[in-house]
Amino acid sequence: MDKNNIDGGWLNLTRISLPVKVLFTGYLIVIGVGLMIAGLQILLTHGMADGKFGISVKDIVYSYYGNREGSKLERALNGSMKQYASPEERAILIEWVRKGAPDDEYETKVKPIIQNNCAKCHGVIPSIPDLTKKEVLKELAKVDTGATIGQLTRLSHIHLFGMAFIFMLLGFIFSFAVGINKVLKSVLIFTPFAFQLIDITAWWLTKIWPNFAYFVIIGGFGYFTASALMIIISLYQMWIMKPRDENAWRS
């Protein structure tokens, strides 16, 4: 390996002062925990789209393209919301959905089940659909076409702006790592940005054609892996690796 292509300047992760080291470490730990929580959140939302725990291509398809053979309400009753109603109650709701959500059965059959099982969350928490409103429930009973254009637009701009700042600061810290080829380091710094673009672009393309769901999984796995590598390497060099030379700072 060409020594001239290895970072070894006077400022690197093995030689930074203690306050800066603590600052960088705090950020890396919080980002690392945040990535794990994000993964858990995906498992508990998208990961239950097909009614089974764990991320699969079918989960991604149902989330963005939808399940064109059924409704969002039926999918939830057989998946993430299954535990919140008895089999008999779920059967009544699913039958109502498959009949086309008729108004004449809402008051006598559907509303009592919603009030007893769903209203404590879906009528209180603003960020989730208010199922106590008949018009909201009937909308969810329609054929599931996945995420709407409005939802994709909102999620895309939040993720693009937010993740860009996270990856920029993570890459900035990692840029002071030593003993790594500059080209390899540059590729690793850029990798999360590239896979984030692949991930979000694939959301939109999956909405059109379900086979793009594979790229959603590839994108998410790619930026998570690259970020984890940079976090681990940076923490190792700051706290375990010995300074690059005998003139290291003493703090």
Tens digits of per-residue pLDDT, 13-35? 999 999 999 999 999 999 999 99
Q: How far apart are CA 42 and CA 25, in angstroms?
A: 26
* One domain, residues 125 and 161: no
Q: How far apart are CA 91 and CA 68, in angstroms?
A: 20
Structural domain includes residue 53: no
What pLDDT does 125 receive?
A: 83
Torsions phi, psi for 71 (to 5 deg): -110, 165
Count structural domains, the chain.
2
Picking from 89, 122, 140, the residue at the C-terminal end of a domain is 140
What letter represents residue 51's amino acid?
A: G
What pLDDT does 161 receive?
A: 95
Give me the mean pLDDT over the 210-226 stretch: 95
Structural domain includes residue 185: yes
Q: Count H helices, E strands: the chain?
A: 10, 0
* One domain, residues 156 and 235: yes
Structural domain includes residue 245: no
Structural domain includes residue 57: no
Q: How far apart are CA 217 and CA 202, in angstroms?
A: 9
Picking from 140, 160, 180, the residue at the C-terminal end of a domain is 140
Tens digits of per-residue pLDDT, 58-96? 899 988 998 877 787 887 888 778 888 888 988 998 889
What letter represents residue 148's amino acid?
A: T
What pLDDT does 157 receive?
A: 95
* One domain, residues 177 and 201: yes
> pTM for the whole thing?
0.74
What pLDDT does 2 receive?
A: 47
* One domain, residues 103 and 127: yes
* One domain, residues 186 and 130: no
What pLDDT does 50 receive?
A: 66
Structural domain includes residue 64: no
* One domain, residues 177 and 209: yes
Structural domain includes residue 56: no
Nearest alpha-carbon partner for 227 in 54, 39, 60, 44: 39
* One domain, residues 97 and 136: yes
Give me the mean pLDDT over the 215-223 stretch: 95
Neighbouring C-beta atoms of residue 38, cutoff 10 Å: 13
* One domain, residues 94 and 16: no
Structural domain includes residue 249: no
Domain that holds residue 97: 69-140
Picking from 140, 159, 187, the residue at the C-terminal end of a domain is 140
Q: How far apart are CA 53 and CA 186, in angstroms?
A: 36
Nearest alpha-carbon partner for 167 in 141, 186, 193: 193
pLDDT-derived band at 247 (thresholds 50, 70, 90) equals: very low
Q: Which residues pair with 6 in a beta bridge?
A: 181
Q: Which has the higher per-residue pLDDT, 8 or 106?
A: 106
pLDDT at residue 228 tops 90: yes
